[in-house]
């Protein structure tokens, strides 16, 4: 890795990335070894793809689609910054497997981890992590993924790839949104029966707002938010979800300050318009998903201010805000997460990752965990703005009232264990979202 | 593995499953070692979950959803048929990580493969297989996955997990179906522009027919065909796709021959009705997906005759037939693939796999590869049944005419390089599918 680009951050990768035993950091010695490990320059023997690559492409073509194959590689001989192909060509690799090599080819510290006998039983036994996790799982997650958790995120769900990470992040946003809509009540019998046959209200008509030029993966949920290339989307059924324009900035930035500010304002205005339109259509926007830099779509950037305002729009309209860091996470932008450039304490509700992190998953805020609160809430009732809900017991009710007040929401109690809601007559939909977000936060943190 | 259940098949697993170097088979000596490797029986020290598991569940609960955690495991100490937990309880495991352990815990042959230095560079460098595969990739796939390819399947696409395998199989079926609908013409400008914004015809309103009780995964495409438990589906938007009843057989089978035959006939009739209804709705069924045994849905079986008839219905209506062997593949049913019990030469168009195979993916017939034929076909034109298409040159045209005839379809040439279609006036929709399937087959095999 270029020491200029990354300064001290490069050596953090392994610490954060891998569920390593007794390998809490990569020492300076290891970083030095990596530098020495590099070849001294490119070395080209044939045109690329060379004859051996062409032969292998033909062979593979008999059993797989090879439309995208560039050439075949010799991964044993590849080192550091250099990828070696099967015809003996050695190339300085500035693409790194679509940004998926965490440090460099065959980094000695990674090789060591892979051959560490303590990690072996996890590799060969394929634990069903959700039901039968290994003993060291909580510690390893805490030492690795949680040690680089984005600001405001305390929970992480691991996944196998980037598409699965985004798919499941979307599901978490839908569940969170429906819970808000239901007032955190237990789902109804109708919810249960209709979801089994793909119908509303069990499978609700909710949407995710994405941006033109975005790439969030190729499974069908992700694909409905991907708008980068025809080849990804053509012939696959999709959802009628809103798509906003991503700013097209003019460069050099310092010469187009005014134009770019106007362009970003235009895109943000369109985002709000789409949220309102889709709500009116009966397909409310449960979440907004965005890449900090649109990579597949053309390396399109926007200013930190754009993202901060977008975050505010999401909050105002009660949409979850999902930052997709599958391509940008892991140090490539000069920060561990690209969203750190925005300088926010509360940059997102969900941050997904994969690629350089060699595993996949998403971080999320407490209130976006899939757990429900059926043990706490019951008997939701009301007429107009005159509403109430019962809490499991009086003491819990009182605690919730105090905690909500500490977060800036005034509620009243009534009866032994009820909470009464008496909003003003000028209470708007976004006030509802404000209330429910904070109320949810209180419930999520209730132990 | 119980020698009673598997006889000679157990030792085939590794050969087929893993991209092994110089490990083409597991010798009898290795199989013997595996038997000796087992503990001699269960040994329970505490109630399950024991105190250590409870402590770890609490710890993990702070960072992840632990609603599904049973207990924590000691994978280092687990061996063969026995799973050891963190409280020292040793259990005879008849669930094997939801059927995902290919042989037994910590099988010495698997450990050896994982520590083989020749495999190491593939593990640590995470090749982007679609664009930069390693040199041994074609050979390894041929030696492993293709050596157990289902009957009639010559191609395999690898994936990382079961959900991704099914998602991409569905996409292959949609693309195949749309190509048929387009008469193998190049997609139009309208196809291109509409697909980028999730609208038809680029993102067509096609459907996949699935069965009540099915489980095909949790990403949003798979989830639209999953109908086993509320917890998988609730609150996630879905597609309006047809769902057929899966036969409910009465046991013992020999006492209910007539009832079960009627039940299976009822379900098949419903399948045909749904295909017709959804076509009329404007959401044609591009594919039918089914598990040979519905596992998650309750271990529901149907007779080989049921599956053979279902396969015929798919063929008659021009739907692709996708057999999901994610849970059943790899030997657990006494055959390597459960569909082998149906005794068919042409059991499916697509077979997906994962779990026991330690990788994921799907096998498919030639005509379901995502490649198009823009270089071969052009100028599709016609009025009513009076249609024609041009072929790249006269020689190719003549070859295609002969090959189609060899497969039982009579076509005529006209002009230098055109094919003319002059079907009878009693030519029905299913004749169109018949024609297009065979025509596609000819084009797919054209080199």
Q: Does B234 touch chain A (CB under 8 A)?
A: yes
Yes or no, beta carbons of A233 and B196 under 8 Å apart: yes
pLDDT of A274 reads 98
pLDDT of A82 reads 87
Q: CA B131, CA B169: separation in Å to the nearest integer?
A: 20
pLDDT of B370 reads 63
Using an 8 Å Cβ cutoff, are B400 and B446 in contact?
A: yes
Yes or no, beta carbons of A243 and B198 under 8 Å apart: yes
Structure tokens at B296: 């998650």
Yes or no, beta carbons of A233 and B195 under 8 Å apart: yes
pLDDT of A9 reads 28
Q: CA B345, CA A24: separation in Å to the nearest integer?
A: 55
List the A386-391 sheet strands across, edge first: A377-383, A386-391, A418-421, A412-414
Interface with chain B: mutation pick from A50, A132, A205, highest number of B CBs within 10 Å? A132
pLDDT at residue A158 greater than cutoff 60: yes
pLDDT in tens, B194-250: 999 999 999 999 999 999 999 999 999 999 999 999 999 999 999 999 999 999 999
Q: What is the mean pLDDT of residues A77-89?
A: 91
Tell me phi and psi for residue A117, to 5 degrees. -60, -25
Q: Does B380 touch chain A (CB under 8 A)?
A: no
pLDDT in tens, B267-318: 999 999 999 999 999 999 999 999 999 988 888 999 999 999 999 999 999 9
Using an 8 Å Cβ cutoff, are B172 and B370 in contact?
A: yes
Q: Does A278 touch chain B (CB under 8 A)?
A: no
Pick the closest to residue A141 from A121, A153, A158, A127 (CA basis).
A158
Average pLDDT score over chain B = 86
Q: CA B140, CA B158: separation in Å to the nearest integer?
A: 12
How far does CA A343 lie from the centroid of its chain?
A: 18
Start-to-end Cα distance in chain A = 45
Structure tokens at A150: 């984005």
Please report where in the chains the tokens 């105190």 appear, as a residue: B51
Name the residue facing A234 among B86, B111, B202 (closest C-beta). B202
pLDDT of A218 reads 95
- Taking the CA of residue B233 and the nearest CA in chain A, the distance in Å comes to 6
- For residue B388, what is the enclosing H or E element? strand B386-391
To 10 degrees, what angle do helices A108-115 and A117-125 make?
A: 70
pLDDT at residue B25 greater than cutoff 50: no
Q: CA B293, CA B180: separation in Å to the nearest integer?
A: 30
Query: What would the DSSP string read from start to end of B278-325?
Result: HHHTT--EEEEEE-SSBTTTT-B---HHHHHHHHHHHHHTT-EEEEE-
Yes or no, beta carbons of A65 and B197 under 8 Å apart: no
pLDDT in tens, B92-129: 888 888 888 888 888 888 888 888 877 788 778 878 88
Q: Out of A82-86, A112-116, A370-374, which region has the weakest mean confidence (pLDDT)?
A: A370-374
Q: Which residue of chain A is at minimal alpha-carbon distance from B158? A: A64
pLDDT at residue B60 greater than cutoff 90: yes
Q: Which residue of chain A is at minimal alpha-carbon distance from B189? A: A230
Q: Which residues of A touch B62 (CB under 8 A)?
A: 154-155
- Taking the CA of residue B237 and the nearest CA in chain A, the distance in Å comes to 5
pLDDT of A447 reads 55
- Which residues are registered as beta bridge partners of A420? A388, A412
pLDDT in tens, A259-308: 999 999 999 999 999 999 999 999 999 999 999 999 888 889 999 999 99
Q: How confident is the model at residue B36 (pLDDT cuts 50, 70, 90)?
A: low
pLDDT of A372 reads 54
Q: Which residues of A touch B133 (CB under 8 A)?
A: 56, 60, 69, 72-73
Instruction: Return the higher-pLDDT residue of B114 and B266.
Output: B266
Q: Which residues of B touch A227 (CB under 8 A)?
A: 196-197
Q: Going by DSSP bridges, is the β-strand pair B285-290/B243-244 parallel, antiparallel, or unpaired?
A: unpaired
pLDDT at residue B22 greater than cutoff 60: no
Quick one: three-class SS letters along chain A?
CCHHHHHHHHHHHHHHHCCCCCCCCCCHHHHHHHHHHCCCCCECCCCCCCHHHHHHHHHHHCCCCCCCCCCCECCCCCEECEEEECCCCEEECCCHHHHCCCCCECCHHHHHHHHCHHHHHHHHHCCCCCCCCECCHHHHHHHCHHHHCCCCCCEEEEECCHHHHHHHHHHHHHHHHHHHHCCCCCCCHHHHHHHCCCCCCCCCCCEEEEECCCCCCCCHHHHCCCCCCHHHHCCCCCCCCCEECCCCCCCCHHHCHHHHHHHHHHHHHHHHHHHHHHHHCCCCEEEEEECCCECCCCCECCCHHHHHHHHHHHHHCCCEEEEECCCCCCCCCCCCCHHHHHCCCCCCCEEEECHHHCCEEEEECHHHCCCCCCCCEEEEEEECCEEEEEECCHHHHHHHHHHHHHCCCCCEEECCCEEEECCCCCCCHHHHHHHHHHHHHHHHCCC
Yes or no, beta carbons of B219 and A224 under 8 Å apart: no
What Rg do the C-alpha atoms of chain B give, in angstroms? 25
Query: What contacts 24+ positions apart, CB below 8 Å, involve B259-264?
Result: B260/B303, B264/B302, B264/B303, B264/B305, B264/B306, B264/B309
Yes or no, beta carbons of B111 and A133 under 8 Å apart: no
Using an 8 Å Cβ cutoff, are A365 and A332 in contact?
A: no
- Which class for A345: exposed (0-12), middle (13-18), buried (19 or more C-beta within 10 A)? exposed
Yes or no, beta carbons of B224 and A369 under 8 Å apart: no
Q: What is the mean pLDDT of residues A347-353?
A: 97
Q: Does A64 touch chain B (CB under 8 A)?
A: yes
Q: What is the mean pLDDT of residues A313-318?
A: 95
Q: How confident is the model at residue B421 (pLDDT cuts 50, 70, 90)?
A: confident
Please report where in the chains the tokens 């010469």 appear, as a residue: A255
Q: Out of A190-194, B205-209, B423-427, which region has the weakest mean confidence (pLDDT)?
A: B423-427
Q: CA A72, CA B132: separation in Å to the nearest integer?
A: 6
Look up the pTM and report it.
0.81
Using an 8 Å Cβ cutoff, are B246 and B225 in contact?
A: no
pLDDT at residue A120 greater than cutoff 60: yes
Yes or no, beta carbons of B106 and A114 under 8 Å apart: no
Q: CA B35, CA B105: separation in Å to the nearest integer?
A: 12
- Which class for A392: exposed (0-12), middle (13-18), buried (19 or more C-beta within 10 A)? middle
Q: Which residues of B touch A143 (CB under 8 A)?
A: none
- For residue B419, what is the enclosing H or E element? strand B418-421
Q: Out of A139-143, A315-319, B116-120, which region has the weakest mean confidence (pLDDT)?
A: B116-120
Interface with chain A: mutation pick from B125, B140, B205, highest number of A CBs within 10 Å? B125
Yes or no, beta carbons of B233 and A114 under 8 Å apart: no
Using an 8 Å Cβ cutoff, are A116 and A77 in contact?
A: no
Q: Does A94 touch chain B (CB under 8 A)?
A: no
pLDDT in tens, A16-46: 333 333 333 344 444 444 455 678 888 999 9
pLDDT of B26 reads 40
Exposure string of A319-341, with b = 16+ CB inside 10 Å and e = fewer, is: bbbbbbbbbbbbbbbeebbbbbb
Q: Going by DSSP bridges, is the β-strand pair B320-324/B350-353 parallel, antiparallel, or unpaired?
A: parallel
Q: Does A203 touch chain B (CB under 8 A)?
A: yes
Q: Out of A229-243, A386-400, B35-49, which region has the weakest mean confidence (pLDDT)?
A: B35-49
pLDDT of A261 reads 98
Structure tokens at A92: 């300085």
Structure tokens at A357: 């992190």
Q: CA B358, CA B346: separation in Å to the nearest integer?
A: 26
pLDDT of B9 reads 28
Q: CA B399, CA A12: separation in Å to the nearest integer?
A: 61
Yes or no, beta carbons of B198 and A224 under 8 Å apart: yes
Residues 320-359 of B with CB under 8 A from A: 358
Q: Which residues of A touch B131 (CB under 8 A)?
A: 68-70, 98
pLDDT at residue B157 greater than cutoff 50: yes
């Amino acid at each position: 890795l270029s020491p200029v680009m990354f300064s001290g951050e490069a050596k953090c990768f392994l610490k954060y990335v891998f569920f390593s035993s007794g390998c809490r950091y990569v020492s300076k010695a290891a970083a030095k070894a990596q530098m020495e490990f590099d070849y001294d320059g490119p070395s080209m023997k044939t045109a690329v793809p060379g004859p051996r690559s062409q032969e292998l492409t033909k062979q593979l073509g008999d059993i797989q689609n090879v439309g995208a194959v560039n050439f075949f590689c010799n991964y044993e001989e590849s080192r550091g910054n250099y990828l070696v192909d099967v015809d003996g060509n050695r190339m300085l690799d500035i693409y790194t497997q679509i940004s998926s090599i965490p440090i460099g080819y065959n980094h000695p510290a990674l090789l060591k981890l892979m051959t560490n006998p303590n990690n072996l039983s996890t590799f060969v036994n394929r634990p069903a992590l959700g039901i039968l996790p290994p003993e060291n799982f909580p510690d390893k997650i805490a030492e690795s993924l949680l040690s680089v958790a984005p600001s405001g995120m305390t929970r992480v769900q691991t996944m196998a790839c980037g598409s699965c990470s985004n798919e499941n992040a979307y599901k978490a946003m839908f569940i969170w949104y429906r819970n808000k809509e239901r007032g955190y009540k237990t789902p109804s019998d109708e919810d249960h029966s209709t979801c089994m046959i793909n119908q509303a209200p069990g499978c609700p008509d909710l949407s995710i707002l994405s941006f033109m030029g975005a790439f969030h993966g190729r499974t069908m949920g992700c694909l409905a938010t991907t708008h980068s290339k025809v080849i990804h989307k053509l012939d696959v059924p999709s959802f009628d979800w809103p798509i906003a324009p991503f700013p097209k900035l003019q460069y050099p930035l310092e010469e187009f300050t005014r134009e770019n500010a106007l362009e970003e304002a235009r895109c943000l205005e369109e985002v709000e318009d789409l949220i309102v339109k889709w709500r009116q259509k009966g397909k409310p926007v449960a979440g907004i998903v965005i890449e900090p830099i649109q990579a597949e779509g053309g390396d399109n950037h926007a200013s930190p201010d754009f993202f901060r305002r977008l975050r505010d729009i999401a909050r105002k309209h009660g949409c979850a805000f999902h930052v997709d860091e599958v391509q940008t996470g892991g140090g490539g932008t000069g920060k561990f997460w690209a969203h750190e450039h925005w300088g926010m304490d509360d940059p997102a509700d969900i941050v997904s990752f994969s690629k350089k992190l060699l595993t996949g998953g998403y971080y999320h805020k407490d209130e976006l965990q899939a757990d429900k609160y059926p043990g706490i809430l019951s008997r939701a009732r009301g007429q107009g703005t005159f509403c109430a809900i019962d809490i499991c017991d009086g003491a819990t009710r009182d605690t919730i009232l105090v905690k909500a007040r500490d977060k800036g929401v005034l509620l009243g109690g009534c009866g032994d264990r009820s909470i009464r809601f008496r909003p003003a007559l000028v209470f708007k939909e976004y006030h509802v979202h404000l209330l429910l977000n904070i109320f949810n936060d209180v419930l999520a943190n209730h132990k």
